[in-house]
Amino acid sequence: MAETEGAHALRLLLVHAHPDDETIGQGATMAKYVADGRGVTLVTCTAGEMGEILVPELEHLAADREDGLGEHRRGELDEAMAVLGVTDHRFLGGFGTYRDSGMKWHPDDTVGHALPLDDIHDNAFWHADLTEAADHLVPVIREVRPQVLVTYDQFGGYGHPDHIQAHRVAMYGAMLAAVPSYRRDLGEAWDIPKIYWGGLSQGRIREALRRMRDAGEESPFDGLDPDGPLPMFVPDEDITTEVDASAYGERKLEALAKHATQIKTDGPFFALSNNQGAPAMGVEEYRLVKGRLGPLGENGRESDLFAGLDGVDGVGG
Ligand SMILES: CC(=O)N[C@H]1[C@@H](O[C@@H]2[C@H](O)[C@H](O)[C@@H](O)[C@H](O)[C@H]2O)O[C@H](CO)[C@@H](O)[C@@H]1O
Ligand SMILES: [Zn+2]
């Protein structure tokens, strides 16, 4: 059961598609801001019912058997959020409203992103009505009144249909929530001052892949050439913000391990982290897509998602 946030002066809202995306993308940032006394609210759009199951003794939960993976991943998410200290996490529209769409890569390159399996469920998130889904987010935005929203880019990061849909719902919901005359029954309008898309820069992934190659480690990204083009990652020049939450890198790894059906702790992903060291896992990158950048560091990037908000409603000073 989500707890309503206390009166935090600074509040972050994250919108993600499946349990585990939040920790993979922003787990260290979430832990840092909770520790800094800021409000952190997570909205997850599906329960990940169609995911793979990396734990053999849980294979009976698969969608084509007992179809119990969504409920199990709800528990994994609870445990991961407990590790990060996040107490306010909700499912869009309530648990089970939207279902994981599954994924397969479309054979036609012009589509460019994964498409769900043909026989997906009626309430698959990919087929959600955008306004209906956004209307589940509007009251959350108007209740939480966040200064910062984080979601995916238009490609959903790596092209998963639910990530793309979560991006659309988050961006459209933020726009609708800001319109005073829109659905007054859903609360008083709130215009989120800063919106970011999470991302991983080509520079950081290239450096990590080269380090693993040189160390003879297996790469978690099959077939990626560290010296070749990396179009599925963000060009360095597009990254505006780098949150150094390296002090929470271990916490992030601990939370990732709670998503045990999805992430192997003895797999190359953890090897990547072990190779880089947990602190490196705690540096998380963002693109500011709405609002004003705060002060830039020597790296030419902003270091705090809440920077540059002076004088904005809800922020002291
Ligand atoms: C990180 C993420 O978004 N995971 C999704 C994704 O999982 C992939 C999927 O199961 C694919 O079939 C596997 O080969 C791949 O290794 C997985 O990462 O898609 C799932 C189904 O929609 C989703 O539940 C999972 O959270
Ligand atoms: Zn996902």
pTM: 0.93
Does position 301 have pLDDT exceeding 60, yes or no? yes
Q: Do the beta carbons of residue 83 and residue 61 sit within 8 Å?
A: no
Which has the minimum average pLDDT: 70-84, 108-122, 243-257? Answer: 108-122
What is the per-residue pLDDT for 313?
63
What is the per-residue pLDDT for 102?
92
> Per residue in 287-302, is it b (16+ CB within 10 Å) or e — as a string?
bbeebeebeeeeeebb
Q: Is residue 269 part of a domain?
A: yes
**From the alpha carbon of 102, which atom of ligand 1 is closest?**
22
Q: Is residue 214 part of a domain?
A: no
Closest residue by CA, ligand 1 atom 8: 51
Question: CA–CA separation, 45 vs 206, rounded Å?
Answer: 31
Closest residue by CA, ligand 1 atom 20: 51
Does position 131 have pLDDT exceeding 60, yes or no? yes
| Cβ neighbours of 119 (radius 10 Å) | 7
Per-residue model confidence as pLDDT tens digits over 143-159: 999 999 999 999 999 89
* Average pLDDT estimate for 248-261: 95
Binding-site residue positions for Zn(2+): 18, 21, 163
Q: Is residue 43 part of a domain?
A: yes
Q: Is residue 242 part of a domain?
A: yes
Is the shortest distance between the CB of 21 and ligand 1 below 6 Å? yes
What is the per-residue pLDDT for 317?
32
ipTM above 0.95, yes or no: yes
Is the shortest distance between the CB of 102 and ligand 1 below 6 Å? yes
Which residue range is the domain that position 241 belongs to? 11-202+234-290
Q: Is residue 87 part of a domain?
A: yes
Is the shortest distance between the CB of 20 and ligand 1 below 6 Å? yes
| Cβ neighbours of 15 (radius 10 Å) | 26
**From the alpha carbon of 24, which atom of ligand 1 is closest?**
1
Q: Do the beta carbons of residue 226 and residue 275 sit within 8 Å?
A: no
Per-residue model confidence as pLDDT tens digits over 160-211: 999 999 999 999 999 999 999 999 999 999 999 999 999 999 999 898 888 8
Per-residue model confidence as pLDDT tens digits over 60-107: 999 999 999 999 999 999 999 999 999 999 999 999 999 999 987 776
Closest residue by CA, ligand 1 atom 14: 52
Residues 6+ apart with CB under 8 A from 92: 15, 43, 44, 45, 46, 98, 133, 136, 137, 169
Per-residue model confidence as pLDDT tens digits over 198-228: 999 999 989 888 887 887 776 666 678 888 8
Q: Is residue 297 part of a domain?
A: no
**From the alpha carbon of 103, which atom of ligand 1 is closest?**
22
Q: Is residue 306 part of a domain?
A: no
Q: Do the beta carbons of residue 18 and residue 44 sit within 8 Å?
A: yes
Instruction: Indicate which CATH number applies to the domain containing 34.
Output: 3.40.50.10320
Residues 6+ apart with CB under 8 A from 109: none
Q: Is residue 209 part of a domain?
A: no
What is the per-residue pLDDT for 315?
45
The count of structural domains within the chain is 1
Q: Report helix, strand or coil for 294.
A: coil
Ligand number nearest CA of 103 is 1
52 CA distance to ligand 1 centroid (A)?
A: 6
Which of 99, 31, 22, 17 shows the shortest CA–CA distance to 279?
A: 31
